[in-house]
A and B are shown apart, each in its own frame.
Chain A
């Protein structure tokens, strides 16, 4: 059953709102704020059992290893993965996607093979595939998007030439939630694999990689209340086992001679060097925090705020809201007519309101919309309707300065 969140209570867990009581933070799609439960977990590692993992005989080393692997299990459970070994810690969602591009793409793609992505991707799910296509002789194809910010005619973009579909779960510009399950079924029927960029969906809704049916699934820690410097790649274990390593070094090997090496088991095969232990433990604490609140409740809260935002901005003349997808998360991109987003965002900042202004690392979308940049307001569990009211009022003020 959906329970109403109490953002006023939740905000007490976030020290940033203590430091800046009037801060209206509407940029969680870029990075989320961090609750004390997460910073405490990170601090506790450094203060109580700071040691390297998987290497030591002594007890705090064992404690560190246990905490690190417990975090992996928490993340596996959080996304419905069947096996903790299918969860690889990376430094970011970007690195997770690059890992697949290197370790799977370069081995399995050749001339004439198609990599299918969409026009609504973040640069992190475009550039790695441009590089891979160039190296392998493969072709990079795009599923087009409509002015509403939805995929167009994706069914007919998948063919027997398609070897990989790499697609965002939720657009960071329009908030569009894409039909991954249907798309994965169609892709698999054509013999293609599916990689999902879930950086914008995992923090805001309940996800289950097995239900979605994807082969790879990438997301970042800092957008889901976790620390920066940790991301996650989920991969189906049989695929990960067949893949070559991404980075070489310690931890990822079984044996090393002067001539050659053999690889460790997954997930360690893909975690060369000392991993981001503190950050992974912090991310595990973030998953605990979100589980306690309930992802269904987080989603419902954001849907309510989304409708409230669309109504509030819709009431203002001279505001263009970009896209109108039927199924969307709590992200709203807009422009104030005649005012550059950087100017608008500067005035909003003056009122203590943090929104993103720019191309959102999605320049192909900006080209499609025919704008250089947009403002973007994105909500999370700590945002209130009063935050949106302040955004509305401040935008009115901005308009009066420039007109």
Chain B
């Protein structure tokens, strides 16, 4: 309830969560749809919201040559997935692991090294909306599964 003293969301402007970049990625998701060259796949599911994700990756010699996502969910989920694929594409597995850690720190603690965040910075607003952290995290946790070679479906519950 905006404007109530002492309320957790008091300083928040909802447009910090729904920045133009987020709305744009929601409207026009990048790397969207199945990937034919994929040699790894993983699924993610958010039971609370019903967000559903399938991640496809083409990984050779510890490098992410290409990565796509497919699925349905809210704007935060879709934008976060889209941005994740953009960031992970072309990275080594080790670099992607580091990205995951940065993202995780950003949405759970709200603090991260702003310099190194780059495009990830648009997700900073999520931290202030605890109910939405799961929406933003699903793609990243599913990526982590792919990087770790796990076949288990990610669920955020």
Which residues of chain B are near A8, meaning CB under 8 Å? Answer: none
Assess whether A23 is interfacial by the CB under 8 Å rule.
yes
> Could you tell me the distance in whole angstroms from the C-beta of A33 to the nearest C-beta in chain B?
14
Known: A20-B1, A358-B48. A402 touches B23 (CB 8 A): yes
Chain A 324-373 residues near chain B, CB threshold 8 A: 339-343, 346-347, 349-352, 358-359, 366, 372-373
The bracket for how many chain B residues form the interface is 20 to 34
Residue of B nearest to A403 (CB): B27
In the complex the two chains form, is B1's CB within 8 Å of A372's CB?
A: no
The answer to whether B129 and A20 touch across the interface, beta carbons within 8 angstroms, is no
What 0/1 readout, one digit per residue, does chain A (111-148) give for beta carbons within 8 Å of chain B? Answer: 00000000000000000000000000000000000000
CB distance B74 to A342 under 8 Å?
yes
B contact residues around A346 at 8 Å (CB): 14, 17-18, 129, 132
Asked if A1 lies at the interface with its beta carbon under 8 angstroms from chain B, I say no
Identify which of residues 53-98 in chain B touch chain A, using a CB-to-CB cut-off of 8 Å.
Answer: 72-77
Q: Are B2 and A350 in contact (CB under 8 A)?
A: yes
CB distance from A17 to the nearest CB of B (A): 11
Q: Assess A358 versus B49: contact at CB under 8 Å? Given A342-B135, A352-B1, A401-B23.
A: yes
| Interface assignment of A265: CB less than 8 Å from any CB of chain B | no
Q: How far is the CA of A346 from the CA of B26 in the complex (A)?
A: 15
A401: B residues at CB distance < 8 A: 18, 23
Closest to A22 in B: B1
Residues of B within 8 A of A22 (CB): 1, 3-4
Taken residue by residue from 44 to 55, chain B's Cβ proximity to chain A (1 for < 8 Å, 0 otherwise) reads as: 000011111000
Residues of B within 8 A of A340 (CB): 49, 73-75, 77
Closest to A371 in B: B50
Contact B74 A343 (CB under 8 A): yes
In the complex, the answer to whether A352 meets B2 with C-beta atoms within 8 Å is yes
Closest chain A residue to B47 by CB distance?
A: A359
Interface string of B127-147 (1 = CB under 8 A from A): 001001001000000000000
CA–CA, A351 and B9, complex, Å? 12
Contact across chains for A373 and B14 when beta carbons are under 8 A apart: no
A372 CB contact (under 8 Å) in B72, B129, B135: B72
Inter-chain contacts of B51 with A (CB < 8 A): 372
A342 to B132, CA, bound (A): 9
Residue of A nearest to B73 (CB): A340
In the assembled complex, which residues on chain B have CB atoms less than 8 Å from the CB atom of A341? 74
Check A372–B23 contact: CB distance below 8 A: no
On whether the beta carbons of A343 and B75 are closer than 8 Å, the reply is: yes
Output the least CB separation between B150 and chain A (Å): 25
Q: With a CB–CB cut-off of 8 A, which chain B residues contact A352?
A: 1-2
- List the B side residues contacting A402 at CB < 8 Å: 23, 26, 75
Please give me the residue from chain B that is nearest to A366 by CB atom.
Answer: B50
A350 to B23 Cα, complex, angstroms: 17
Q: With A352-B1, A401-B23 in contact, do A342 and B49 touch (Cβ < 8 Å)?
A: yes
Rounded to whole angstroms, the CA-CA distance of A372 and B74 in the bound complex is 10
Task: With a 10 A CB-CB cut-off, give which of A347, A350, A351, A359 has the most chain B CB atoms.
Answer: A350
Q: Are A343 and B50 in contact (CB under 8 A)?
A: no
CA distance A340 to B3 in the complex (A): 25
Q: Cα distance A373–B72 when bound, in Å? A: 11
A20-B4 in contact (CB<8A): yes
Whether A372 lies near B18 (C-beta < 8 A) is no
Query: Measured between alpha carbons, how far is A373 from B73 in the docked complex, in Å?
Result: 9
Given A350-B2, A372-B72, A359 and B17 touching (CB < 8 A)?
Answer: no
CA distance A166 to B77 in the complex (A): 37
* A 390-403 to B, binary, CB cutoff 8 A, 1 in contact else 0: 00000000000110
User: Are A23 and B73 in contact (CB-based, < 8 A)?
Assistant: no
Judge whether A358 and B50 touch: CB under 8 Å: yes
Contact yes or no, B50 A372, CB < 8 A: yes
Chain B residues contacting A359 (CB-CB under 8 Å) are 50
Q: List 26 A-B contacts (CB under 8 A).
A: A19-B4, A20-B1, A22-B3, A22-B4, A23-B1, A339-B75, A340-B74, A340-B77, A342-B74, A342-B76, A342-B132, A346-B18, A346-B132, A350-B14, A351-B2, A358-B48, A366-B50, A372-B49, A372-B50, A372-B52, A372-B72, A373-B49, A401-B18, A401-B23, A402-B26, A402-B75
Q: Closest 5 interchain pairs by CB? A: A372-B50, A340-B74, A342-B74, A350-B14, A343-B75
